Amino acid sequence: MSSLRSITLATLTKDIRLEWRSKDAINSMLFFSLLVVVIFSFSFDPNAEESRQIAGGLIWVAFLFAAVVALNQTWARELRNQVLDAYRVSPAPANALFMAKVLGNFILVSLLEALMAPLFMIFYNLRALGPAWQLIPVALLGTWALVVNGTFFAAMSLRTRSREIMLPLLLFPISIPAVQSMVEATRIILTGDGAARFWIVLLLTYDVVFTTACLALFETVLQAE
Amino acid sequence: MKKAFPILTVLTALLLAYAFYEAIWIAPMERTMGDVQRIFYYHVPSAWTAFLLFFVNLVASVIYLVRTNARADAVAVVSAEVGVVFCTVVLVTGPIWARPVWGIWWTWDIRLTTTLVLWLIYVSYLVLRRFSDSSQTPKLAAVLAIFGALDVPLVYFSIWFFRTQHPQPVIGGGGSIDPRMLHVLLINWLAFSCLALLIGWARYRLEWLQREVEEAQALESLLGDHGSSPPAASAKHPLDKSHGTVGSQ
């Protein structure tokens, strides 16, 4: 157990340090989601009263697309210099590597959301009419849902041709219930129309089910070569 | 086994002809919907067959992951492909029926949406198989099939709650059905299952032959490169080594 934690921590710090020095992923994600926000505000009138209704969808679609940018880079780094092959033959547990990657992406996407959410609020003139604190569990659980499956499918699409295209093709169909829960919960909180509890529970269920499945099957995917 | 194939072909043709006759001429006319309702005899059996095939795909995928059996993988490919075809039939015949009856082509009803998401998941499964060219494709595809199976109940739940929150025109669930209609429906389902089995069987043989050809070609190029005597292992059936060494490495 302690080796699992120390390997996870070591890989995580390495990834964060690399990201801190290059800032490749976070910069491209930030700019990408900024572009999405601007394009959305041309497509849908942000001043309309209905913007509160659709804002949840817009926010999460923007984050979903931006997250794919980061997720695609997750494993590409390890392919250079055959790091992944080295990892495969080492006795380190596969799940430690997986957890490190998931946590790294989670931190990255959460940071993106923390930076972009205020901008959304300003552009769309939003103010939560429901309990605003519930947005935090929705954001955390939703981000985890995207990132845990995204990291897993990114590892799967490593073995395919045109892997950058492959990741969204695999990730989006599976993520439909999670995206729907995030969007609905956000919409309910923003409009103050009903209770978001069901959606938060559904998100939690989604997270538990797929985190378990990922941890159970990651070794198979990592060794598949 | 090879003799059974033409028998099944004839049986399927007869069953389909009989089921068609029953559905068009024998089944009673539905009182409010009229003849449009007869698409029901194609829509529902296709849906049942598609779901059955997706279930077969899941079972075959799990068997493949546990045993690494190449035959289980071939069954998984075939059931996913044929399942997507039948699911497409469902998604096409549904709107054709819905337009005159509901007045709309599509509604985000629980069954429609779940079927659509299932179709999307299995299309992504087939895309993965097409795009991945390593020898480990079966393993990755099997993992994806398990993820898809885990996803379906969550989709169902989310739409169920979504739609109970926002009332919509919903299909009259739980209505009773005329026993004669049920009879025709079951005959059609039997015919469609036979058709699925027939297509699946043909596709399975094709898949297997293709793998044998690929294996033989790989072996040939290997022997051609080295010019040495064939290895002893080639005497056995190359695919029975149960190690996913299918295709070019």
From the list B139, B150, B154, the residue facing A220 with the nearest CB is: B139
Give the pLDDT score at B244: 42
What is the number of other CB atoms lying within 10 angstroms of the CB of residue A24? Answer: 14
Select, from the ranges A160-169, A176-185, B158-167, B232-241, the one with the highest average predicted confidence (pLDDT).
A176-185
User: Which region among B52-56, B73-77, B229-233 has the lowest average model confidence (pLDDT)?
Assistant: B229-233
Interface test with B, best of A53, A84, A156 (most B CBs within 10 A): A156
Q: Please, which pLDDT band fits residue B125 given cuts at 50, 70 and 90?
A: very high
Give the pLDDT score at A213: 94
Whether residue B65 and residue A220 make contact (CB cut-off 8 A), yes or no, is: yes
Mean pLDDT value across chain B: 82
Complex-level ipTM beyond the 0.90 threshold: no
Residues of B in contact with A170 (CB under 8 A): 124, 128, 144
From the list A173, A177, A217, the residue facing B143 with the nearest CB is: A217
Q: Please, which pLDDT band fits residue B168 given cuts at 50, 70 and 90?
A: very low
Task: Please give the Cα distance from B249 to B245 (Å, whole number).
Answer: 7
Locate the chain B residue with the closest alpha carbon to A225: B136
Residue A186 has pLDDT above 70, yes or no: yes
Give the pLDDT score at A175: 93
Whether residue B157 and residue A221 make contact (CB cut-off 8 A), yes or no, is: no
What are the residue ranges of helices labelled H in chain B?
4-21, 40-67, 70-102, 110-131, 137-165, 179-226
From the list B128, B151, B155, the residue facing A160 with the nearest CB is: B128
Long-range contacts for A76-85 (Cβ within 8 Å, ≥24 apart)?
Answer: A77/A15, A77/A18, A79/A158, A84/A158, A84/A222, A85/A225
Q: Please, which pLDDT band fits residue A43 given cuts at 50, 70 and 90?
A: confident
Task: Please give the Cα distance from B150 to B144 (Å, whole number).
Answer: 10
Q: Which of B200, B212, B210, B240 is nearest to B5 (CA)?
A: B200
Give the pLDDT score at A53: 79
Q: Please, which pLDDT band fits residue A1 given cuts at 50, 70 and 90?
A: low
User: Which region among A24-38, A127-141, B125-139, B174-188 has the lowest average model confidence (pLDDT)?
Assistant: B174-188
What is the per-residue burial (b if ≥16 Cβ within 10 Å, else e) of A127-137? ebebeeebbee
Identify the three-state secondary structure at position A45. coil
Q: What is the CB-side half-sphere exposure of residue A84 using CA atoms within 13 A?
A: 18
**Average pLDDT value for residue range A139-149:** 94
Cα torsion for B156, B184, B52, B244, to the nearest 10°?
Answer: -150
Residue A135 has pLDDT above 50, yes or no: yes
User: How large is the C-alpha radius of gyration of chain A?
Assistant: 18
- Estimate the crossing angle of helix A197-223 against helix B137-165, to 10 degrees: 180
Give the pLDDT score at B87: 94
Give the pLDDT score at B173: 47
Give the pLDDT score at B237: 47
From the list B65, B146, B154, the residue facing A205 with the nearest CB is: B154
Q: Are B84 and B56 in contact (CB under 8 A)?
A: no
**Average pLDDT value for residue range B117-137:** 89
By the 10 Å C-beta count (0-12 exposed, 13-18 middle, 19+ buried), A58 is classed as buried
Give the pLDDT score at B242: 44
Residue A27 has pLDDT above 80, yes or no: yes
Q: Could you tell me if residue A47 is left (phi over 0), alpha (psi between -120 and 50 degrees) or otherwise beta?
A: alpha
**Average pLDDT value for residue range A164-191:** 90
**Average pLDDT value for residue range A108-127:** 87
**Average pLDDT value for residue range A116-121:** 86
Residue A101 has pLDDT above 80, yes or no: yes
**Average pLDDT value for residue range B13-25:** 88
**Average pLDDT value for residue range B125-144:** 88
**Average pLDDT value for residue range A181-186:** 91
Task: Please give the Cα distance from A178 to A204 (Å, whole number).
Answer: 9
Task: Please give the Cα distance from B231 to B216 (Å, whole number).
Answer: 13
Give the pLDDT score at A217: 92
Give the pLDDT score at B62: 95
As given in the structure block, the two tokens for residue A109 are 């996407």
Q: Which of A168, A116, A178 is nearest to A143 (CA)?
A: A178
Residues of A in contact with B118 (CB under 8 A): none
User: Which region among B20-24, B59-63, B157-161 has the lowest average model confidence (pLDDT)?
Assistant: B157-161
Find all residues with CB under 8 Å of A104, minimum gap 6, and list them: A11, A12, A15, A16, A19, A74
Measured CA distances, A88 to A10, A92, B177 (Å) = 16, 8, 58
Task: Give the residue carrying structure tokens 């990114």.
Answer: A154
Give the pLDDT score at A145: 94
Q: Which residue has the higher pLDDT, A24 or B13?
A: B13
Q: Are A105 and A71 in contact (CB under 8 A)?
A: yes
**Average pLDDT value for residue range B31-53:** 85
Q: Please, which pLDDT band fits residue A138 given cuts at 50, 70 and 90?
A: very high
Give the pLDDT score at B225: 66
Q: Are B214 and B247 in contact (CB under 8 A)?
A: yes
Locate the chain B residue with the closest alpha carbon to A198: B161
Task: Please give the Cα distance from B184 to B19 (Å, whole number).
Answer: 7
Give the pLDDT score at B227: 52
Tell me the β-bridge partners of B34: B30
Residues of B in contact with A217 (CB under 8 A): 143, 146
H or E stretch including A57? helix A51-79
What's the pTM value of the predicted model, to 2 decimals?
Answer: 0.84
Find all residues with CB under 8 Å of B177, minimum gap 6, and list them: B185
Whether residue A209 and residue B150 make contact (CB cut-off 8 A), yes or no, is: yes
Percent of chain A predicted with pLDDT > 70: 98
Task: Give the residue carrying structure tokens 């539905």.
Answer: B30
Give the pLDDT score at A48: 66
